[in-house]
Amino acid sequence: MTVRQDKVNSLIQREVSAFLVTEKPLGITGLVTIIGVDTAPDLETAKVFYSVVGQDFDAVAEVLQKNIYDIQGMLLDKFVMRKVPRITFVPDRSGEYARHISDLIANLHQEDGPEKPQE
């Protein structure tokens, strides 16, 4: 990854995060965190990875997709670049998966009962 890609990634992450915080009427009631951005080497496209707490991923994906042109327009206004990457939102479900695994482990421990200390 080039230095320019790193800079564009961090700028997109910062600006999209700020947009989601300031634009309350979007209809997102949960906490949406922009995990990271992966910009293509040619700077044509960028994947924006997000995580959600307190709301369904599908509902947030629908809101983000509905407002993608506003977000893209905001990036066009903020960036002084010849090419501003076209963004797509990608859900990062790793937190949800980790919580699921943790619940499974807790259920296994609960079924086995408390461990008895070895004498």
DSSP, residue by residue, 47-68: EEEEEEESS-HHHHHHHHHHTH
Enumerate the domain spans of the chain. 3-112
pLDDT at 118 over 70: no
Residue 46 has phi, psi (to 5 degrees) of: -145, 135
| pLDDT tens digits, 75-113 | 999 888 888 999 999 998 777 677 778 888 888 878 776
CATH of domain 3-112: 3.30.300.20
| pLDDT tens digits, 24-52 | 667 788 888 999 999 999 999 999 999 98
- pTM for the model: 0.76
Question: What percent of the chain is modeled with pLDDT above 70?
Answer: 91
Q: What distance in Å separates the CA atoms of residue 73 and residue 84, rounded to the nearest whole number?
A: 10
Tokens of 52: 């959600």
Q: What distance in Å separates the CA atoms of residue 83 and residue 41, rounded to the nearest whole number?
A: 12
